Amino acid sequence: MPGYILIIDAMSNRRIHLRAQLDTAAYPVELVESQSEGLVRIRQDSPDVVIVADDLPGLRLRQFCKLLRTSSKTQLTTIVVAVQRENHSARISALNDGAYDVIEHTADAAELKARMRSFMRSKHVVEGGRRRAVPETGRELAEAIPDFIPKTVAVFVRCSQTDSHVETCCTLDPSTGIAARDIDAQTARRAPHKDTDVYVLVETHPGDEARETLGALLAHPISCHSRILFVTDARGPGASPLDLGAHDQVPSTVSMAELALRIQRLARLKRDAERLRKTTNELEKKAYVDALTGLCNRAAMDEYLIRTDRALAQHPRRVALLIADLDHFKAINDNHGHASGDTILAHVAQTIGSRLRDGDFIARYGGEEFLIVLPNVGLEQAKSVAQRLRNAVAENPKTIEDGTVVRATISIGLAVAAQSDQVSTAELRRAADAALYDAKRNGRNRTEVAHRDALHGVPFPKIKVRI
C-alpha cells in the first residue's frame, strides 16, 4: 500500500482532526487508538509515516522509535510526534528520543500536507539509493563505524537587511557540536561554502531573498547536497518551502535547543547520503572496471560499443578501432611467475591508457588484449597513434619484484571506417582481430591494417542508416 500514514492517538477527536488535515486523496490514512493496536497494524503493513501522540497511554517513545529503527521493514518509516501547542519541552524530548519530526495537534493543514509530501519524497529517494547500493546477494553493505563524529557546519543566511534573528541563531551553544557561520544571501547564491552541512534560511517577511536563495542553493553544484532548514512564519496560498525543496521547516519561535537538534539531524542525513553515494559509486566502479588493470571491463566495453553504433547510425563519422595484444605473455608468466605477469600487464595497460586522448576509449578485451576506439580519426592518424603506443610500451620496461627488468612489446590490429561506410563496431572489431592475427604471424611488435574489403559484411544491427 503506497504512501500510507498511521495515526496513533487515544483521543478520537484529535485522530479525526489530523486525518481531516491530511491529503487523503493522495495517500491512505489509518487511525488506531493504542500503541499495541498500532504495532499490530505496523507488523501487518509497514507505513510510510507514523504520527503518534506524545501523551499516548503507556507510550515509551525511545523504545518505540528503537523498535521501528531496528526492523528492516520499518527502518525508513518516518516517526512524527504530535504535541500540544507551544510545548517546547515536549518537542525537544521527542526529538531526543528519536522522533524524526514534531508537529502540533492543531497543525496548519497546508503545512502538514507539505511535511507529509516531504517525508514521502525523502523516503523514496533513500529507498532508491539503497537498492542501487545493495549487491546481488540482497544483503546491504555494512557501514564502517566512524572514528569520530565531525563538527557540524551550519551557515545562517541573512536574507534581509534588517535580519537580527540570524545573529541570535548564530549564538548556538558550542556544546551542541555546531560551528555556526553567517553570510548574506547574495554571497550564498554566488559562492556557497563547500564544507557546509546545513544552510539555515530565515524568511523575515514575504518577498525577501529567502526562497530565491533556496532555489539557488539546491541548483548549485557545491551546495546541492547540503541540507536546508527554512525558518518562516509565512502562511498563505503560496507554495510551501518544503515543496520548493527545503529539507525542514520551523517557525521563528523555535527554541535554540530544538533548532540545534534539527540542524544535527539534517547533518546526519547529509552524511548518510554521502556514504550511500560513495558506496553506490564504488559498486558501479567495480561493475565496470577491470580490477587488475584499472581499465574498463568487457561489460563497460559492450555498453560503449552499443552506444557508438547508435551514434554512428544517426551521425556517421570516421572511427578507428585497435586491438592490442601483449607479445609472448605466456613466456613472461612461465619465466617470472603469474604475479609478475599481472604486474607487467597492469604496467602495459597504464602505459597505453596514459597515451590516449580524453575522448578515446580503452578496455581490457581479453586476457592480455586491449580494445581501443579512436572517435573521428582517419587511417593515417590511427596508424600514428598505433605506432606511438607500440613505442611507448617497448621503451618503458618494468622492474619486477626480484629486480629483473622486463621489456614487453605489443602487436596491434587496426581497422578504420570512413564517414561513408555503413559498418558496425562488431565488423570493425572482426576486421581488427584479423589484422592482429596478421601482425602476430608476421613477426609481432608491429601494426597491421585491415583491408578495406574486410569491413563490409555486417551492417549496423537493426539500425536504419541515412547517408
pLDDT digits 0-9 by tens, 314-363: 889 999 999 999 999 999 999 999 999 999 999 999 999 999 998 999 99
The cell numbers describing 22, all together, are 491530511
What's the pLDDT at 133? 55
Q: Indicate whether this model's pTM tops 0.75.
A: no
What type of residue is 248? D
pLDDT value for 101: 93
Q: How far is Cα 18 from Cα 25, in angstroms, rounded to an integer?
A: 14
Q: One-letter amino acid identity for 239?
A: A
Q: Comparing C-alpha atoms, which of 417, 416, 399 is closest to residue 407?
A: 399
Class of 142-284 in CATH: alpha beta
DSSP E strands in 185-269: the ranges are: 198-203, 227-232, 248-250
Retrieve residue 186's grid coordinates: 547574495
**Grid cell of 269 as nine digits:** 542525513
What does the pLDDT read at residue 460?
Answer: 41
> Cα(first)–Cα(last) distance of the chain, in Å?
52
Which amino acid belongs to residue 450? A
State the amino acid at position 337 in one-letter form: G
- Single-letter amino acid, residue 445: N
Q: What's the rounded Cα separation, in Å, for the pair 319 and 301? A: 16
Q: What is the pLDDT along the chain (467 residues), one digit of tens a residue?
A: 466 899 999 999 999 999 999 988 888 999 999 999 999 999 999 999 999 999 999 999 999 999 999 988 898 899 999 998 878 899 999 999 999 999 999 888 988 999 999 988 888 777 766 665 554 434 344 444 455 567 899 999 988 765 556 666 667 777 888 999 888 899 999 989 889 999 999 888 877 789 999 999 999 999 999 999 999 988 777 789 999 999 999 998 899 999 999 999 999 999 988 888 888 777 777 788 999 999 999 999 999 999 999 999 888 999 999 999 999 999 999 999 999 999 999 999 999 999 999 899 999 998 999 999 999 999 999 999 999 999 999 999 999 989 999 999 999 999 999 988 888 999 999 999 999 999 999 999 999 999 876 676 444 444 333 33
User: Which run of H or of E encompasses 310?
Assistant: helix 298-314
**pLDDT the model gives residue 454:** 66
Give me the pLDDT at residue 149, please: 63
Same fold for the pair 1-132 and 142-284: yes
**Residue that the C-alpha cell 501487518 belongs to:** 44
Burial 45-66 (b: 16+ CB within 10 A, else e): ebbbbbbbbbbbeebebeebbe
Interatomic CA distance for residues 326 and 229, integer angstroms: 58
Boundaries of every domain in the chain: 1-132, 142-284, 298-455
CATH architecture under which domain 298-455 falls: 2-Layer Sandwich (3.30)
Stretch (H or E) spanning 374: strand 369-375
How far apart, in whole angstroms, are the C-alpha atoms of residue 342 and residue 100?
A: 51
The predicted pLDDT at position 91 comes to: 92
User: CATH code for 1-132?
Assistant: 3.40.50.2300
- What residues act catalytically? 368
DSSP state of 293: T
Taking the C-alpha atoms of residue 93 and residue 62, their distance in angstroms, rounded to an integer, is: 10
At 140 the pLDDT is: 44
**Predicted pLDDT at 421:** 86
